[in-house]
Amino acid sequence: MERRVVITGLGAITPIGNSTEEFWDGIKEGKCGIDKITAFDITNFKVKLAAEVKNYNPEEYFERHEAKRLDKYSQFAMIASREAWKDSGLNRETEDMERVGVIIGSGIGGVQTIETENQKCIVKGPDRVSPMYIPMAILNMATGNVAIDIGAKGESISMVTACASGTHCIGESYRMIKHGYQDIILAGGTESSITPLSIAGFMNIKALSKSEDKTRASMPFDKERNGFVMGEGAGVVILEELEHAKKRNAKIYAEIVGYGATSDAYHITSPSPDGEGGARAMKIAIQEANIKPEDITYINAHGTSTHLNDDSETKAIKIALGKASEKVMVSSTKGHTGHLLGAAGGIEAIVCAKAIEEGFVPPTINYKVPDEKCDLDIVPNVGRKVNIEYAMSNSLGFGGHNSSILLKKYIK
């Protein structure tokens, strides 16, 4: 028998707030977390802006010796997971922790550690490379560290699908609980890639905005968009089987009712220009939820502020929703946060859950110049109070990975 899956905990650390409450307040206020890069010397870089986590001191969350053994991307995952676990009200002393899993993805993983230790090897020799290099850098270690920290002994997996990683992790977690393999999963994404090598790499494939005006850098669906802005942080949700949540009288933010995942099979970095792959992911999620396209009130778009993404995603939404695309509200919150790569789907699932809970559709900020090719209702600059029964979150990744999850308002 298929089981119902609900969201009972939220955790976030982002460029506009170091907790879920601060993050969501920033979304509603239209706060922009983009500013000049402070993580390294940008003198020789054409890209000057990023969306960094502000006022972050790891020693507020970890013992000094512990922080030194954790890459920043793992730190962010643990911080968001601790908040989500606390928010859920779950207790490891009373839960069967063998039925609690962790599925947290990242697009790049411990790149800060990789760059640091690479320099040590070149300048000081191989004997100076830290023995913690490998366990700090590898992509599964965010999940591993969270499982150790929480005490989760169930399925412990890291999924890597570039910028779709967070949404894929949530979608696959939904399926695991739905079909009885786990009762609870901490799911989402984490990233900390504002580093010289990462910025240079994305800069040289012309993916990043070179604007020095933070209000005209990440501007999804704007005709003058010119690339995305790198962000960092983590978003983790607690997914739980409905009856398990009800037995402990848990707060339920929303129910997950559909998930679609497809491949463009087109290009290593560019989305399929006709939007076909993204459209199929949305259609699969809608079909699983057994609803009609017109039932969807809000879509949190991938909306990266690149010409190719925003154009093809607009087409994908039109294909998937048909006539209903003329009325659905579509916004991208990447004007607020920049693009968190593998963590984007995690924080954007939180946006959808909070949007449903509070009846508020977030705006697409930094928008000025309409694009006739991106002619959906993108909720420009000012959010809207409206009842939301169904909300969808889309994520698309390099390699042609597409993922969509569909959330529903939970009514007892």
Task: Name the residues annotated as catalytic.
Answer: 163, 302, 339
| Cβ density class 192-215: b for 16+ within 10 Å, e for less | bbbbbebbeebbeeebbbebeebe
Please identify which residue in the block is written with the tokens 């947290």: 104
Please identify which residue in the block is written with the tokens 């009762």: 183
SS3 385: strand
Cα torsion 265, 269, 273, 274: sign = positive
Residue 261 bridge partners (DSSP):
403
Q: Which of 165, 173, 168, 171 is nearest to 139 (CA)?
A: 165
Q: Which tokens belong to 279?
A: 């459209």
Name the helix (H) or strand (E) containing 7.
Answer: strand 5-13
Alpha carbon separation from 115 to 90, 109, 133, 346 (Å, rounded): 38, 12, 10, 25
For 247, what's the count of Cα atoms within 13 Å in the CB-facing half-sphere?
Answer: 9
**What span, in angstroms and rounded, lies between the C-alpha atoms of 51 and 403?**
24
Cβ proximity of 35 and 232 under 8 Å: no
**What span, in angstroms and rounded, lies between the C-alpha atoms of 183 and 188?**
16
Q: Which of 355, 396, 395 is nearest to 379 (CA)?
A: 355
